[in-house]
Structure 1
Amino acid sequence: MPQPRLFLVYEPEKACLDRLVSQGYPTERAAEISSYLAQSTDLAPEFAEIWREAAKRGITFTPLELDQAAAAITSADPATSLVWTLTDGIAYFRGGSAPALARLANSRTLGADDSLFALCQDKFRSGAVLAALGLPVPQAGLARDGRWLVEPPACENGWFVKPNRLGAKIGIWPDSHSRDLGHALELSRRVFSHYRDDVVVQPYVAGRNVRASFLDVTGHADMSSLGVFLVDSGGDFQTMADSLALYGDTGADARATGAYVEPALVPLAATQPAADAEIRRIAAKLINGLGLRDVFSIDLRVDADDTVHLIEFEVCPGLPCFDFRAYCRAQWSMSLAEAMAETAARRLVG
């Protein structure tokens, strides 16, 4: 029988940039958009380490660029194959096709099914589903190039404006916390001009930023294995500039020059145990009601009175990012490569 094989499917940052430029995006904008795929750039130097850790556990690690995935997955033995999708996307990025390819080939996948890969990339639609599940997600309006498709609710604290399908919770610019709806529509025109995207306009919620990370290394982990951390970056919310400083070559340059310092991570339970417990309840509902499994992350805001606001979920968390590495160390006492290999081995060889 062939040796069990882990396929890690990723969309390269450079390939995405070149494709966007060919579609007419200015190079600067294409570089900003493709920077979200820098996790594949950051993880590539560790492929050899992941291969070694996988080999120790009796499996073969095979990283696959997205354009090679169809041929490789459909020709592999589904009985001994596991597909792990590193980069998702339904608009600018195409990684959401990988779990569908695996399903077509009858191969096992690690992570949520392909329907959630599409849902989580459309913030307006995913918010509607989360609200229907009774989860504490802010109600949202939707605008396109200066006109309302759905008007947002009134809010004394203003509104937060973010792209709908660009794949992040970020507000792009420092003025994305808008104090009036006229300005929110102006931001929608700016986003449409730069990125050809709609904007989600939500009531602004105060509080501290929290990231909850999950990787089911053992194959039967429960919510006690969820890592819930306050993320203190010194700012209220993440902008495009902050995002660029996290990953890839731009991030490496920012860290090398001291222009960027990684945010501090503090376990939420240390200061707000009630909010920590509520977030674990929310995560359990996402698993049972929505179908999250294996690996995911959740972004939230937490008030001083322990009120929790669910902002979004991700089925492809940034594995090589500082917060997920810290989670692997804190929860599983493993490096990222060890945790990935062990997770795959539990599915492939038991």
Structure 2
Amino acid sequence: MTSKKPKLILVHEPEKACFDRLVADGHAPERAAEIASYLAQSTDLAPEFDALAGACLARGLSFAPVALDEAARLLDGEDPGTTLVWTLTDGVAYFRGGAAPALARLGGFRTVGADETLFALCQDKFRSGAVLGALGLPAPPAGLARDGQWLVEPPVSAAGWFVKPNRLGAKIGIWPDSRCGDLGHALELSRRVFAAYRDDVVVQPYVAGRNVRASFLGLTPENGVEALGVAFVDSGSDFQTMADSLALYGDTGEAAKAAGRYAEPELVAVADSQPAADAGIRAIAERLMGGLCLRDVFSIDLRVEADDTVHLIEFEVCPGLPCFDFRAYCRSQWGLGLADAIAETAANRMTGPDRRF
């Protein structure tokens, strides 16, 4: 009797499924499209599913991309002993990808990535910031507002404040005036965010510095913080707006390319000019891996000042795998294209011990 071939199942929430659900829930179509755009990695990775299948086959695995709404039904027919689940898209509010690792846990499947508790935590920036502060990490303190009312008043800040949605892609500021100099304007921004997206806002002291993305893919289960890729992401602007984000990814990104409006930010290794900051970021990542059990695949967004001061902005358990920065990381760190990096990671997880608690 031959054994069943190991299988990688990649669970993802498509943009259109999210858009249709949000519109049915009463969101304006334009706003629903903006919200759903955060799932653009599903759109961007779909053309490479054949390449992923080939890379998996070369390593003795079969491959199946599964839309989130079909995941429960399809997982019910799989063998937990030979099936690995990798969740591509996260979410517990506007997006629902956080259901996938919970389903995998319920069915006894091995998974790539963090456990389901971190899928929920990283999507709520106010709560995750509180946890990061409790771990002694340099995350800016925050206030929280809903539709023009303070739920938690923000700290005093001589440099002004930065206002961002709490449960969306919250490192971005939505509008160019998201950095503001008075708290009255911060409350006005909270009204605008609530009217457009039904979300609270996090209001943090503005922190200066260059934007940094730290990317991690553990090609083997033994890989640690030494495999972290740490790069300045220089786009020419202080922070990313919704319009900036729409021009980079998914169908809107393709339209921006066709119109000549697409420009990838420049990636420059932090260690080349600020080795002390690079060391500090690796220490932060090590603390996150130990204190929060981040593992396998994740990213961290930070700000680094000229004097090597590091500010931790957020962590993500589902980094944008097909995005320019993660592809660049796979090439520089592992010498692999994205499909081979994903397949190699999956193959190594299938042959190693199950490290879940």
Shared fold per TM-score greater than 0.5: yes
> For residue 126 of structure 1, what is the aligned residue in structure 2?
128
Are residues 1:77 and 2:54 paired?
Answer: no
> For residue 298 of structure 1, what is the aligned residue in structure 2?
300
Distance in structure 2 (CA, Å) of the matches to 1:15 and 1:222: 36
Name the aligned partner's letter for residue 156 of structure 2. Answer: A
The alignment partner of 1:344 has SS state of helix
The alignment partner of 1:75 has SS state of coil
Distance in structure 1 (CA, Å) of the matches to 2:133 and 2:225: 21
Are residues 1:214 and 2:219 paired?
Answer: no
Q: CA deviation at 1:291?
A: 0.9
Name the aligned partner's letter for residue 242 of structure 1. Answer: D
Q: CA deviation at 1:207?
A: 0.2
Name the aligned partner's letter for residue 10 of structure 2. Answer: L
Q: CA deviation at 1:167?
A: 3.1
> For residue 45 of structure 1, what is the aligned residue in structure 2?
47
The alignment partner of 1:313 has SS state of strand
Distance in structure 2 (CA, Å) of the matches to 1:186 and 1:136: 28
The alignment partner of 1:323 has SS state of helix
Are residues 1:60 and 2:62 paired?
Answer: yes
Name the aligned partner's letter for residue 212 of structure 2. Answer: V
Name the aligned partner's letter for residue 296 of structure 1. Answer: F
Query: Among 157, 160, 169, which residue is 1:158 paired with?
Result: 160
Residues 214 and 295 in structure 1, CA contact (< 8 A), matched pair in contact too: yes
The alignment partner of 1:202 has SS state of strand
> For residue 119 of structure 2, what is the aligned residue in structure 1?
117
> For residue 347 of structure 1, what is the aligned residue in structure 2?
349
> For residue 181 of structure 1, what is the aligned residue in structure 2?
183
The alignment partner of 1:274 has SS state of helix
The alignment partner of 2:8 has SS state of strand
Distance in structure 1 (CA, Å) of the matches to 2:31 and 2:282: 37
Query: Among 198, 218, 241, which residue is 1:196 paired with?
Result: 198
Residues 89 and 167 in structure 1, CA contact (< 8 A), matched pair in contact too: no
| TM-score, length basis structure 1 | 0.99
The superposition leaves residues 3-51 of structure 1 with CA deviations (integer Å, 9 ceiling, x where unpaired) of 1000100001001101101011111000000000011000000000000
Name the aligned partner's letter for residue 120 of structure 1. Answer: C
> For residue 14 of structure 1, what is the aligned residue in structure 2?
16
Residues 161 and 199 in structure 1, CA contact (< 8 A), matched pair in contact too: yes
* Ranges in structure 1 where 5+ consecutive residues have no aligned partner: none
Q: CA deviation at 1:127?
A: 0.1
Distance in structure 2 (CA, Å) of the matches to 1:108 and 1:14: 28
Are residues 1:270 and 2:277 paired?
Answer: no
Are residues 1:104 and 2:71 paired?
Answer: no
Q: CA deviation at 1:114?
A: 0.1
Distance in structure 2 (CA, Å) of the matches to 1:209 and 1:125: 22
Distance in structure 2 (CA, Å) of the matches to 1:58 and 1:349: 11
> For residue 88 of structure 1, what is the aligned residue in structure 2?
90
Name the aligned partner's letter for residue 295 of structure 1. Answer: V
Name the aligned partner's letter for residue 250 of structure 2. Answer: G
The alignment partner of 2:261 has SS state of coil
Residues 4 and 349 in structure 1, CA contact (< 8 A), matched pair in contact too: no
Q: CA deviation at 1:349?
A: 3.2
> For residue 229 of structure 2, what is the aligned residue in structure 1?
227
Query: Among 325, 328, 333, which residue is 2:335 paired with?
Result: 333
Name the aligned partner's letter for residue 164 of structure 1. Answer: N
Distance in structure 2 (CA, Å) of the matches to 1:74 and 1:53: 25
Q: CA deviation at 1:256?
A: 2.6
Q: CA deviation at 1:212?
A: 0.0
Query: Among 128, 139, 142, which residue is 1:140 paired with?
Result: 142
The superposition leaves residues 125-183 of structure 1 with CA deviations (integer Å, 9 ceiling, x where unpaired) of 00000000000000000000000000000001100000000133110000000110000
Aligned counterparts, 1:235-274, within 5 A? 235-274=237-276
Residues 328 and 339 in structure 1, CA contact (< 8 A), matched pair in contact too: yes
> For residue 282 of structure 1, what is the aligned residue in structure 2?
284
The superposition leaves residues 180-232 of structure 1 with CA deviations (integer Å, 9 ceiling, x where unpaired) of 00000000000000000000000000000000000001221121110000000
> For residue 355 of structure 2, what is the aligned residue in structure 1?
none
* Ranges in structure 2 where 5+ consecutive residues have no aligned partner: 353-357
Aligned length: 350
The alignment partner of 2:76 has SS state of helix
Name the aligned partner's letter for residue 224 of structure 1. Answer: E
The superposition leaves residues 278-321 of structure 1 with CA deviations (integer Å, 9 ceiling, x where unpaired) of 00000000000011000000000000000000000000000000
| TM-score, length basis structure 2 | 0.97
The alignment partner of 1:79 has SS state of coil
> For residue 313 of structure 1, what is the aligned residue in structure 2?
315
The alignment partner of 1:78 has SS state of coil
Residues 100 and 114 in structure 1, CA contact (< 8 A), matched pair in contact too: yes
Name the aligned partner's letter for residue 20 of structure 1. Answer: L
Distance in structure 2 (CA, Å) of the matches to 1:269 and 1:280: 11
Distance in structure 2 (CA, Å) of the matches to 1:284 and 1:191: 34
Name the aligned partner's letter for residue 334 of structure 1. Answer: L
Distance in structure 1 (CA, Å) of the matches to 2:169 and 2:65: 22
Q: CA deviation at 1:73?
A: 1.5
The alignment partner of 1:45 has SS state of helix
